[in-house]
Amino acid sequence: MNTSFMKGFYKMTKEELALEVIDRLKKEYPLADCTLDYDEAWKLLVSVRLAAQCTDARVNVVVEDLYVKYPDVNALAEAPVEEVEKIVRPCGLGKSKARDICACMKILKEEYQGKVPDDFQALLKLPGVGRKSANLIMGDVFGKPAIVTDTHCIRLVNRIGLVENIKEPKKVEMELWKIIPPEEGSDFCHRLVYHGREICTARTTPHCESCCLADICEKNGI
């Protein structure tokens, strides 16, 4: 499909479409908060690892028990992996997630004085941290430009027409960097999560009749 989209008799470029989508989603979802609960940076690192193939809602429940037993970086760094696994098992992939979390906290303790580094490349070197997680930390914790290509983001930007049939997260991220203003990226991705859950759904027919983007969306795949 063409890289631009008809709005009336004017063909918007992808950059123009992106700005229009950003503006409308801002009005629809004024608060663009992360749906993972956290009050310290290291806790977001833990939660985003647990969130792989698990709902944010379930993660938010599971970490409550985890933090009662292991309330800080040092405690979690020294925790037996098997004990952590018992707690995080409801999130799925308990063994690998527990191993990554304990190893990650150990590095924070030994190399960063218990703090989360505010450097993208440093974050990528932490166990269990990929580009999506690193971007989330950079945007939410440190307020730096970030684009978080989770499943909602990838589905919606393809459906809307901001990217064309690209499903690989890094490739989607690179394409979005070209058209999304850096200061808008993090909140834009959070709003895509809200919109993807409420309107532009994955497992049911999307509710286009209630969508604030209906007249500018290419509706790819619908």
Name the residues annotated as catalytic.
Answer: 132, 150
For residue 146, what are the CA distances in angstroms to 64, 73, 133, 142? 27, 25, 10, 10
Sign of the four-CA dihedral 63, 64, 67, 73? positive
Contacts of 210 (CB under 8 A, 6+ apart): 199
- φ, ψ of residue 53 in degrees (nearest 5): 60, 30
> Which residues are 10's β-sheet partners?
7
Q: Which tokens go with 155? A: 């589905």
Token pair 């950003």: residue: 22
